[in-house]
Amino acid sequence: MRPRRAALAGIVFPVIAIGYFAFSSAVEPGHADPGVIVMLCALGVATALMAYVLFASLANN
């Protein structure tokens, strides 16, 4: 169950990236900054890894 919680913590930021891309494309097509999308996805991966480490350390105690 704990890896699922870590995945849920990490999936938030890619969802925000998709929302940013959709909103930015709707307002001004072709103007979405790819750097923002990449960094939000990288932040999601980092958050998922850290959440997994924290949940694993809690299981050992």
Which of 5-9, 18-22, 33-37 shows the lowest per-residue confidence on average (mean pLDDT)?
Answer: 5-9
Domain limits for position 47: 2-60
pLDDT tens per residue, range 23-55? 998 998 888 889 999 999 999 999 999 988 888
Q: Is residue 40 within 8 Å of residue 16, measured between CB atoms?
A: yes
Specify the number of domains making up the chain: 1
Residue with tokens 């939000």: 40
pLDDT of 45: 93
CA–CA separation, 34 and 25 (whole Å)? 12
Please choose, from the candidates 32, 59, 24, 42, the residue with its C-alpha nearest in 3D space to the C-alpha of residue 5.
59
